[in-house]
Structure 1
Amino acid sequence: MYKKRKDAENRKFTRPIEYSTKLPVIKVWKNITPRDLGQILNRDMNYISQLFLNNLKHPNEPIEDMKLLQQAIRRSGHRIEIQANPTNKLKELEDRDIYPRPPADKSLLRPRPPVVTIMGHVDHGKTTLLDALRHSSIVEKEFGGITQHIGAFSIVLDSSATVTFLDTPGHAAFSAMRARGANITDIVVLVVAADDGVMEQTVESVRMAKQAKVPILIAINKIDSPKADIERTKRMLLEVGLQVEDMGGDIQTVPISALKKQNLNSLIEALVLQAELLEIKADYTGLVEAVVVESKIDIHRGKLCTIVVKRGTLRKGCVLVAGTAFGRVRLMRDADNNILNEVTPGYSAEIEGWKELPSAGEIVLEVDSEKRAREVVYLREDKKKLEKAEEDKVIVIQKAEEHRKEYEEKLKLKRKLGRYKLKQQGPRKSEYENDDKINLSIIIKGDVDGSVEAILDTLDTYDSNLCEMDLVHYGIGPITKGDLDLAQTFKAVIYAFNVECPNKIKEEAEQVGISIKPFNVIYKLVDDVKEELNSRLPPIEVEEICGEAVVLQQFEINQGKKKIPTAGCRCVKGTLKKSGFYKLIRNGEIIHAGSLSSLRHIKNEVDTIKTNLECGLQLADKSITFQQGDTLQCLEKVLKAQEITWDPGF
C-alpha cells in the first residue's frame, strides 16, 4: 500500500503543470534559424542564446533538434505550434498562380495586325500624324497641345491594311507610359521634327525601343517648316546610334509633313512593308492573353481599362485577371465607342466589368471561372504580403545588427570608464519635440492610371530639405467625401487632374477650408505644387547693397581729448543711410564691418546721402582708419521670400 501510494504521488508530481496549456503560442517551423526565432519573439540574439543555454553555433544555422527548440521556447514562457516554412509557402503560391501559355504551335498561327507605337519628343507632331492617318482631330482634345495618355486604336489604311496604333506622350513626365508602349509593340515609328532635330525624349525613346528589341522606322516631320534641315536631322540620328539608310544603315527614314499631309503614302508603304517582313502572326485560339494599356474610372460606366489582345479571342463573358484585379467582360468598345462582339489579336478595346481597377502595364490572362479568378487574386495578394515580409525581415536584421554593434561599442566604453558615467550623445528629446518641421500634404486624384503614375513619378524627383512633401493619398476617379476627410485630417491640398469635382463636394470643401485645385496639364500642376511649397517657407534675412561710397581722404575731428578718424567720401552708387550696416573694403578685402556713429553733409547731421554728394562718415568703432581709394558699402537687412530649388525635368 505504501509503495502504491508513493508511486501515485510520484506520478502526480511528474504530471504537466496545468497552467502550461494557457501559455501564449508562437508559430515556428522545422529547421528554423535562431535569427528567425529572435524576430518572432522580438528579442535580441543574446536572449535567444540564453534560451538555448549558450549552445548555439551561428544565428543563421537551422535548429534541427525539435525537442531542444521546444525546451528553449518553454523557457521563454511560450508554447510552439508547427507551421509550414513561409519561404516554402511563397513557392507554393507561385506554383498555384497563372502564367501566359507556352508559345503556340506554328500550325495555329495566323496573321494579325501589327501594333505600332508612335514615339518621340513633345510637340514633334506625333498626334498630328495619327490625326492625319485616322482622319480625325485628336490634337484638339489634348489639353495644352500635348498627349497625356496612351491612346490605342485600330486604323484601316487606304491600302486596306489594318494597323493598331499606340500614341504615347512625349512629355518627360510620361517616361513610364512610353516604356510600356515600347514593350507591347511590334514596330516603333520615331517622329523627329526637322526643325528641332534629336531632343531629350527622342534619345529616351530610342533607348526604350532598343531595350524592347523592336524595329524602328523614322518619320522626319515638319519638313514644311522654314527652319527644317533634313540632312542635319539625319546626322543627329546617326550620333545617337541610328544607322539610317542614306548613310549606309538599315533604318528607313521618311520625310513628311503631318500637318499638311505630305508624303504620308510613302510612310504607310514603308510601315506595311516592315510589317510584312516581320511576318507578324498570333494564335487566335485558347485562353486570352493581353496587356493593359490604360485604365480609368467612369462615373456612369464604372471601372474601365483599354487593352491590346496578344493571343486568343476575347468575347463577352470572358473572365479576366490582371495583377490583383479581375472581372467578367460585360461590354467591349473600340476607340470610336462602337460596341464589339469580339476582339482578336492585334486589336485594342475598352473593357467594362472589372471588380477592381487594373494597373496600366499589367498582363491580362483569361481563366475558366470567377471562382478561379478570386483564388488567383487572393494568392497574389498573399504573395505580395510574404514578399513584403521578407523585405522587412532583411531590414530588421540589418537594424538589429547595427543596434548590436552600437550596444557593444557603448558597453566597451562604459567598462573602460569604470565608475564614471557615459555622457548622453546628441540633443535631448525635448529639443526634438520643439523642432517644428514645415511640410506640404497633398492628395492626387487623376482621370486614368497612367496620368496618376506620371504625376507620382514627377513628385518623386522632389528632394529639398526646406519643406517636406507628404503624399497622403492618390487614386483614380472623381473627388469623394473620403478624400475631403483625409484632406481635413492632414490639412492637405487636393489636386484634381482632369477629373470633375461634384458641386456638393466643392461646397463642403469651401465650408471646411479645403483647397481643391483642378488641372489638365501636368507641368501646370507641378508649377502650382512649387508655389505651394514656396508659400510655406518663412522669409529669410538677407543683406542688400543700397549704396556705395569712395573714400577721398581721411581727416580727424577732435572730440574732447580724442581725435576721431573720419572718412571724407563721395557717394557713387545708390543711397547711403545712417541706419545701415557698412563694410570697409580695401584692395578687394573686407577690413571692417559695423555700424556708423555719424553721417554728415557739410556740417549737418543727416540720415541719408544720395548719389554724387560728398559726406563725412564716422564708424562706431573709432579705432578703424581709412585710406584714399577705400570703398564703403552700405547694406540693409531685408526679409526675402525663399524658393525651393526643384527641377522636375521639364
Structure 2
Amino acid sequence: MLYVKGADNIEPTSKLEDMKIIREIVTKCGMKCRFVAAPEKSIEPESALKDKDVFPRPPALPENLKPRSPVVTVMGHVDHGKTTLLDSLRGASVAAGEAGGITQHIGAFTVKLENGESVTFLDTPGHAAFSAMRSRGAHVTDIIVLVVAADDGVMAQTKEVIHLAQECKVPIIVAINKIDKPEADIERTKRDLIQMGLALEGHGGDTQCVPISASKGTNLKELAEAVSTQATLMNLRAENIGLVEGVVVESKTDTRRGKLSSAIVTRGTLRKGCILVSGLAHAKVRILFDHNGTPIDEAPPGTPVEILGWRELPLAGDIILEVESEKKAHSVLRFRNNELSKSKAEADLSEIQKKEEEHLKKYLAEREERRSLGVRYLRKKGDRPKTYLPDDGKPRVNIILKGDVHGSVEALLDVIETYHSNDKCRLDVVHYGVGDVNETDIEFASTFKAIIYAFSVKRPSNVPKDVVIKEYNIIYRLIDDLKEEISKKLQPVEVEDLVGEANVLQTFMITEGKKEIPVAGSRCVKGVLKKNAKYRLIRNGELIYDGELSSMRHLKNEVDSIKKDVECGLRLKDESIIPQNGDTLICYSTHMESQKTDWDPGF
C-alpha cells in the first residue's frame, strides 16, 4: 500500500501536477516514467474540409456553352407501349430483349431523328416497384414523354409520373398510344389528363399532345417534331470543356468485362483515362461504349455511355465527377467514408444513450434492492440467459437476393420492404448483392437455410442438395413465388362450413329416471341437419350454446340427418340449456385449411 502525506485532504477530483511527487510515486511502484507534451487539438477550417471532397463546378460562362442533345425520358403505366415506341423510333427490337416484354431496368440510347438531330432517350419501367428508378430518370431528364394508352386511360403510374414531373418542373409531351385499337377513346383520355392538372394544347394550355400508334408507326414523325420543338424552346446548352460531370443511370457486373455503369454525361467531354468519383466508388476509364456496345473515344454532354473501369460499383442516381489524379480520388473516398462513419455514429448516439439510461435505471433499482436486503450480491430471478438463443419456433422465411444490376436489386428490396413481419411469419433478407450466385451465397444459404433468388443472373453448376436456387427474370413471378413460400410456412386455420339451420317450435321435457331433460322440437329451414355436426343455439342474436347433440329423433326414431322442411327433436349435450320457442339452431362443421399470406406488394 502506498501512502502519500496529506492524502486525507486530497479531493477525489483533484489533479496531481507536481512532477517530483509523480516521479516518486511511479518509482516506488517499481516502474519508470517519461513525460510527454499534451497533444494539441487542431481545428481545420471549413475551406480545408471542402478541399478534401469534390463538388460540381460553378455555372459555366455563357461563351463556353454549346448546344447539346436533349435527354428525353419515356414514362407511363406498365404495358402502355413505352418500349414499343422507342423500338419504332430507333428501328431496333428493344422489347424482344426484355423478359416478357416488360422493361426490367433503365436503358439509355441515342436516336437520330429525320431532321438530323440527336435525342437521348431513357426508357424507364412503368411498374410500381420501380418508382425509385423512375424518380432518378426524371431528375436527369430535360423532357418527359408520357405514354398513355387510349384504351386504358390514366392509370396509377400515369398519375405518379405527372406528380413527379410537376415536382421536378420538367415539361411533359403526352403521347396517346394504341389509337388503332377499336376500344380507344382519345377524347376521354384527354379529359382524364386535364383532370390530373395537365393543360393540353387546344384546351387552354401549352402541353403538347400527340395521338400515336407505336406498333403501326402512326404519327411518330409528329411526336419527333414535338420533341424537337420543345428542345428548341428550352435552348439546351452545356459546357464541353473542363472536368467531366454526369449521372449514373445503372450499374452492373459483367462476368467477362467486370464492373460497368451506364451514365449520362451532363458537362465536359468524357474520354478514356479520365479519373472518376461517384459516391463511394471510383474508376479510371478503360473503355467507353455507346448504346449499341461499340467502343467510342469520347462522349460529349447529353450522350449516354457505358463506362468500364470501376473499382467498385456506383449506385444508380449518383453524381459522377472527374478528378485530376487517382491520388485525389483516393483522398476523396477516404474523406467520404470518414464522413459517412461520423454521420452513422451520430445517428446511433441517441440510441446508445437511450440504452445506457435504461441500463443505469435498472442498475440503480437493483442496487437499492440489495441495500434494502443487506446483501452484496443479488441473485438474478428466473433462469439464467443462454449464450446461444435457439430459434423461437415462429415460422420464418430466409432469402438471399442476387440481381443483374443495382437498380433491379434496389427495386426488389423496395417491394420486399412492403412486407411487414408479424407473428404469423417472418421474412428476413440474409444477404443481397449484384452479380452471379457464388460460393459465398451458397454458404450463407446452407447456414441460414435460405432460398437464393437469382434475378437475371447465372447460377453455379455444382449446387448442394440442401440449397435451393430459384431463377427469375420478371419481378412479378419472383414476388409471387416468395408469397407462396411464406404461405407454406403459415399454420393451417380452422374454417367453418354452414351445414343447415333449424327453428325451435316447441320445447318438450322428457323424463329419464328421475331427471327431466329438455328436447327442442324443431323444423329444418335450410340445408341439412346432421347428428355428428356441431350446433349453435342463438336467442335474440346472442349465443346461448355452442357444442354437440346427444340425440336426434324423427317420429321417435333415432336418425343421423334431417332434410329441409322436416320436423325433429334435438337434444343438446348440455342438459342445463333449455331451448325456447323462436330460438335458432345453426348446424355447422369445421375443417383445417391452409393459410395464404395477406401481403399486398402493390401489384
Q: TM exceeds 0.5?
A: yes
CA gap 1:158/1:399 in 2 versus in 1, 3 angstroms = same
CA gap 1:19/1:644 in 2 versus in 1, 3 angstroms = farther
Preserved contact between residue 260 and residue 306 of structure 2 (Cα < 8 Å): yes
Preserved contact between residue 464 and residue 645 of structure 1 (Cα < 8 Å): no
* RMSD, matched Cα: 3.2
CA gap 1:283/1:582 in 2 versus in 1, 3 angstroms = same
1:216 Cα deviation from its structure 2 partner: 1.1
Q: How many residues align?
A: 577
Which residue pairs with 2:511 in the alignment?
558
CA gap 1:14/1:143 in 2 versus in 1, 3 angstroms = closer
Whole-angstrom CA distance in 1 between matches of 2:172 and 2:181: 24
Preserved contact between residue 74 and residue 147 of structure 2 (Cα < 8 Å): yes
Which residue pairs with 2:307 in the alignment?
351
Preserved contact between residue 52 and residue 331 of structure 2 (Cα < 8 Å): no
Out of 128, 133, 140, the position equivalent to 2:84 is 128
Preserved contact between residue 131 and residue 137 of structure 1 (Cα < 8 Å): yes
1:340 lines up with 2:263 in the alignment: no
Preserved contact between residue 178 and residue 184 of structure 2 (Cα < 8 Å): yes
Out of 464, 468, 485, the position equivalent to 2:426 is 468
Amino acid at match of 2:413: L
1:306 Cα deviation from its structure 2 partner: 0.5
Amino acid at match of 2:434: I
Whole-angstrom CA distance in 2 between matches of 1:574 and 1:339: 77
1:325 Cα deviation from its structure 2 partner: 1.2
Deviations 1:190-247 (A, max 9, x none): 1111121111111111122122221111111111122222222122112211111221
Whole-angstrom CA distance in 2 between matches of 1:18 and 1:276: 86
Preserved contact between residue 452 and residue 470 of structure 2 (Cα < 8 Å): yes
Preserved contact between residue 496 and residue 518 of structure 1 (Cα < 8 Å): yes
1:414 Cα deviation from its structure 2 partner: 7.1
Deviations 1:144-172 (A, max 9, x none): 22211111000111111100000000100
1:163 lines up with 2:116 in the alignment: no
CA gap 1:527/1:89 in 2 versus in 1, 3 angstroms = farther
Q: Secondary structure at the match of 1:463?
A: coil
List runs of 5+ in structure 2 lacking aligned partners: 1-18
1:606 Cα deviation from its structure 2 partner: 4.1
**Larger mean Cα displacement after TM superposition, 277-286 or 583-592:** 583-592
Out of 422, 435, 439, the position equivalent to 1:481 is 439
Whole-angstrom CA distance in 1 between matches of 2:329 and 2:433: 24
Q: Secondary structure at the match of 1:374?
A: helix
Which residue pairs with 1:584 in the alignment?
537
Per the normalisation by structure 1, the TM-score is 0.82
CA gap 1:566/1:214 in 2 versus in 1, 3 angstroms = same
Preserved contact between residue 129 and residue 259 of structure 1 (Cα < 8 Å): yes
Preserved contact between residue 93 and residue 383 of structure 1 (Cα < 8 Å): no
Whole-angstrom CA distance in 2 between matches of 1:427 and 1:210: 61
Q: Where does 1:23-172 land on structure 2 (aligned, <5 Å)?
A: 94-172=50-128
1:500 lines up with 2:458 in the alignment: yes
Preserved contact between residue 464 and residue 644 of structure 1 (Cα < 8 Å): no
Which residue pairs with 1:446 in the alignment?
403
CA gap 1:352/1:248 in 2 versus in 1, 3 angstroms = same
Which residue pairs with 2:14 in the alignment?
none
CA gap 1:172/1:180 in 2 versus in 1, 3 angstroms = same
Preserved contact between residue 143 and residue 520 of structure 1 (Cα < 8 Å): yes
Q: Secondary structure at the match of 1:321?
A: strand
1:526 lines up with 2:484 in the alignment: no
Amino acid at match of 1:556: M
Amino acid at match of 2:473: N
Q: Secondary structure at the match of 1:345?
A: coil
1:92 Cα deviation from its structure 2 partner: 5.9
Deviations 1:470-492 (A, max 9, x none): 11111111100100000111111
Q: Percent identity?
A: 53
Which residue pairs with 2:493 in the alignment?
540
Whole-angstrom CA distance in 1 between matches of 2:189 and 2:382: 60
Whole-angstrom CA distance in 1 between matches of 2:20 and 2:579: 107
Amino acid at match of 1:546: V
Deviations 1:282-319 (A, max 9, x none): 11111111111011111111111101101111111112
Per the normalisation by structure 2, the TM-score is 0.88
Amino acid at match of 1:449: H
Whole-angstrom CA distance in 2 between matches of 1:629 and 1:313: 90
Preserved contact between residue 320 and residue 329 of structure 1 (Cα < 8 Å): yes
Deviations 1:534-585 (A, max 9, x none): 1111212344333333334332322112221112334444443433321011
Deviations 1:261-283 (A, max 9, x none): 11111111111011011110111
1:17 lines up with 2:17 in the alignment: no
Preserved contact between residue 571 and residue 610 of structure 1 (Cα < 8 Å): yes
Whole-angstrom CA distance in 2 between matches of 1:305 and 1:433: 43
Whole-angstrom CA distance in 2 between matches of 1:89 and 1:488: 52
Q: Secondary structure at the match of 1:241?
A: coil
CA gap 1:277/1:598 in 2 versus in 1, 3 angstroms = same
CA gap 1:625/1:446 in 2 versus in 1, 3 angstroms = same
**Larger mean Cα displacement after TM superposition, 92-101 or 462-471:** 92-101
1:618 Cα deviation from its structure 2 partner: 0.7
CA gap 1:413/1:15 in 2 versus in 1, 3 angstroms = closer
Whole-angstrom CA distance in 1 between matches of 2:385 and 2:553: 51
Out of 595, 598, 603, the position equivalent to 1:645 is 598
Preserved contact between residue 90 and residue 386 of structure 1 (Cα < 8 Å): no
Preserved contact between residue 464 and residue 646 of structure 1 (Cα < 8 Å): no
Which residue pairs with 1:327 in the alignment?
283
Structure with more of its chain in helix, by fraction: 1
1:293 lines up with 2:249 in the alignment: yes
